[in-house]
Structure 1
Amino acid sequence: MKKTIVLLCLACGLALSSCIPPSYSFGTLHKHLMDIRNGMNETEIISLLGKPDYRRFKGNREEWEYRNSAGSTRPSVYCITFVDGKVNSFDSYLDDSPWKKGLRNDSTIQAGYFRTPEGNFMWGVPANGMVRLNNGRLMPARGNQLLQEP
């Protein structure tokens, strides 16, 4: 009887573990990231990584963002930029953003959108004349205007 219960629990655990999407299982996302190449189209990226967690676009430029926190206290963020439907750039960073470290509720910090010199908008948190952008980069700013393109 005890052996049957143990086997049943193991079978249930195995069945449930297969419910994790392959793109987010530990190590799989990283392995597929190494297969990304310039010029790949959106369909090829979806077949490698699945649908993105976040998506931004303006004109012929589109950014897809994937997040992976499996096995880590600081999630990894992967950004793929498409121009005219083809991969143009790829960036990754650890998401140790200030607003994740408890600064979000500090009344002296006003997180919000900042305009880039090219007229795009990016989310960020200001600190001492600089802005920590959602892509992890620290950029100089005055008011809600970034002083250089990220």
Structure 2
Amino acid sequence: MKTIKLTLALLAFAICMGSCAMILGIDKGVMMSVQKGMSQKEVSSILGKPDYRRFDHDVEEWEFVKNVADNAGWTTIIVSFIDGRVISMDSFRADAPPSPVAVYPSVEVNGNIPSRPHANIGNGMNERDFQSLYNKVKAKPFKDDQLDLLEAGIGNRGLSCKQCVRMMSIYRFDDDKLEVLKILAPNISDRENYDEIINALDFISSEEKARSILGIKK
């Protein structure tokens, strides 16, 4: 009889622990099992159905919000696909809900280039929105398409110097980085950190051009 009671108690404990695991969501090992090249079906079997889904031309993104064991707070996981296969994954703490995404066209129907609205200067773009835009820009195969998407995607949202440097890092050469800076300069919120942008360039001549773009007086 004691053996039966002990067995039942252990079974109840196992069920309870399983239920707790379901409440917690997933553990880090499960999250780390997502690999480049996996199919959407394989990702679904690991992470379940996405909480959000978006796509832009050939790139599709699935966004999951999970309570990962051993992490303090919720974790956002973004998985990007091309042709139904994983090309990248990013995960980060989801401390705040995403802000609305404002998209402005780079060229109007009649061919005139509209003036961009002034950036809503404040804190930098939240990490989830920035990472989503970064992934989309980087996934474009041609630079002109990347820059068009960047200009449309940034809209009137503020961003930090650190985020600007990360976006510039998509490119290897200073001239390309400066083109990114021309687009993002009006939106930078922490102007006291301009040195981070200057230091991200390789040549003195490029640094001077960056100072001119940022309006830094000699």
TM-score (norm 2): 0.42
Letter in 2 for 1:42: Q
Structure 2 SS opposite 1:81? strand
2:49 corresponding residue in structure 1: 51
2:38 corresponding residue in structure 1: 40
Structure with greater strand share of residues = 1
Structure 2 alignment gaps of length 5 or more: 1-6, 108-119, 135-150, 160-182, 185-218
Letter in 1 for 2:40: E
1:127/1:61 CA distance change after superposition, 3 Å:
same
Superposed displacement of residue 21, structure 1 = 4.2
Structure 2 SS opposite 1:77? strand
Per-residue Cα deviation, 1:40-62 (whole angstroms, up to 9, x for no partner): 11011112222222222233211
2:25 corresponding residue in structure 1: 24
Structure with greater helix share of residues = 2
Structure 1 alignment gaps of length 5 or more: 1-6, 101-110, 120-125
Percent of aligned pairs with the same residue?
26
* CA distance in structure 2 between the aligned counterparts of 1:24 and 1:127, rounded to whole angstroms: 36
* CA distance in structure 2 between the aligned counterparts of 1:50 and 1:65, rounded to whole angstroms: 11
1:63/1:10 CA distance change after superposition, 3 Å:
same
Structure 1 SS opposite 2:44? helix
Which has more radius of gyration?
Answer: 2
Superposed displacement of residue 11, structure 1 = 6.0
2:156 corresponding residue in structure 1: 143
Superposed displacement of residue 112, structure 1 = 2.1
Bigger shift: 57-66 or 87-96? 57-66
Pairing partner for 2:122 from 112, 124, 128: 128
Letter in 1 for 2:126: R
Letter in 2 for 1:24: G
* CA distance in structure 1 between the aligned counterparts of 2:106 and 2:88, rounded to whole angstroms: 18
Alignment of 1:22-101 (within 5 A): 24-25=25-26, 27=27, 30-69=28-67, 70=69, 72-97=71-96
1:17/1:41 CA distance change after superposition, 3 Å:
same
TM-score (norm 1): 0.57
1:38/1:130 CA distance change after superposition, 3 Å:
same
* CA distance in structure 2 between the aligned counterparts of 1:55 and 1:36, rounded to whole angstroms: 17
* CA distance in structure 2 between the aligned counterparts of 1:113 and 1:15, rounded to whole angstroms: 42
Letter in 1 for 2:56: K
Letter in 1 for 2:125: V
Q: Is the 8 A contact 1:41 1:85 kept in 2?
A: yes
* CA distance in structure 1 between the aligned counterparts of 2:79 and 2:49, rounded to whole angstroms: 12
* CA distance in structure 1 between the aligned counterparts of 2:23 and 2:73, rounded to whole angstroms: 20
